Amino acid sequence: MSAIQHDPKLSEEGKHLRTRKLWWEYTVKFRQVLTPEQQRLAMQELTNSGIHLPSETPAAPPKSDLHVSADQDRKLSQLQDDLQAKINAIQKNSKLSDDEKRQQIRQVCNENQAQLRQILTSEQKQQLKMH
């Protein structure tokens, strides 16, 4: 990611989009190869290091891949910000067990997916293979 941030050929927006895409791809692969227990331990280590990844698979790939309109971009950014805030609140809730946290995060992500479907066009949903 350092190479992306220091690439003089990329605009700030280009750097941001490439970084988000890289994190999204990393997060998906991260969850595919680790057992749930390994994921939990890795997430705990990352959090202790000050790095925060979503606790569930990201809701969508970067917006640049979907060719979104300005209105969709605004709505998707707000949706992503809301999702991250909800996940962070759940993760910080010390009254919940790990299983309860996972269940609540799964529910929040499912709600996010429903909202995402309302924002995207049929073609964009097809790109995501979202039915």
pTM above 0.95, yes or no: no
Rounded CA-CA distance 61/78 in Å is 15
What pLDDT is attached to residue 31?
Answer: 65
Rounded CA-CA distance 43/50 in Å is 10
Cβ–Cβ under 8 Å, residues 65 and 21? yes
Work out the mean pLDDT of the chain and round it to a whole number. Answer: 77
Query: Residue 95's pLDDT band (boundaries 50, 70, 90)?
Result: very high
Q: Of the given ranges (31-40, 72-81, 86-95, 119-128), which has the lowest mean pLDDT?
A: 31-40
Cβ–Cβ under 8 Å, residues 80 and 115? no
Residue 16 has pLDDT above 60, yes or no: yes
- Residue pLDDT, tens place only, 49-66: 766 555 444 444 555 566
